[in-house]
């Protein structure tokens, strides 16, 4: 059996006295603490990630609801302004504008310019 007295003849200090408050007594304990901190950090990041996914899901739902509400509002306004079958009336107006543009393109440019010049000269005389 070995004596607990060191070579100078003194008792070795108590290990609990060597460890300052908050310090870990062994290097393995420090590594374990770092591992625990890393695990805690990982769990915290995973929790934050789950919260962000939930928030993104809520934002998607809100955006979808807003778009549906806007589409419903536009449809209701079209019915108020154009009565029954508003999209048919809009299609007819678009078609009429297309036909009118094609008819104007077929007119000779000189005739249009001449009519416009005559109109301008008459308005200057007054």
**Alpha helix positions (H), 1-126:** 15-18, 27-82, 86-106, 109-125
Question: pLDDT tens digits, residue range 54-66?
Answer: 999 999 999 999 9
Tokens of 97: 């504008």
- What average pLDDT does the segment 31-45 reach? 85
Those residues with Cβ within 8 angstroms of residue 40's Cβ, 6 or more apart along the chain or in another chain: none
Q: What is the dihedral of CA 88, 94, 97, 98, to 10 degrees?
A: -120
pLDDT of residue 77: 86
pLDDT bin (cut points 50, 70, 90) of residue 82 is confident
**pTM score of the predicted model:** 0.41
Reading the block at residue 79, the tokens are: 């019915």
């Amino acid at each position: 059996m070995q004596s607990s007295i060191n070579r100078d003849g003194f008792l070795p200090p108590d290990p609990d006295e060597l460890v300052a408050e908050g310090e870990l007594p062994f290097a393995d304990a420090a590594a374990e603490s770092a591992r625990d901190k890393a695990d805690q950090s990982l769990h915290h990041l995973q929790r934050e990630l789950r919260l962000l996914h939930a928030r993104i899901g809520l934002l998607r739902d809100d955006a979808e609801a807003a778009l549906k509400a806007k589409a419903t509002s536009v449809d209701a306004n079209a019915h108020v302004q154009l009565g029954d079958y508003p999209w048919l009336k809009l299609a007819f107006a678009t078609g009429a504008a297309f036909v009118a543009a094609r008819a104007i393109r077929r007119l000779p440019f000189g005739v249009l310019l001449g009519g416009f010049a005559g109109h301008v000269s008459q308005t200057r005389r007054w």
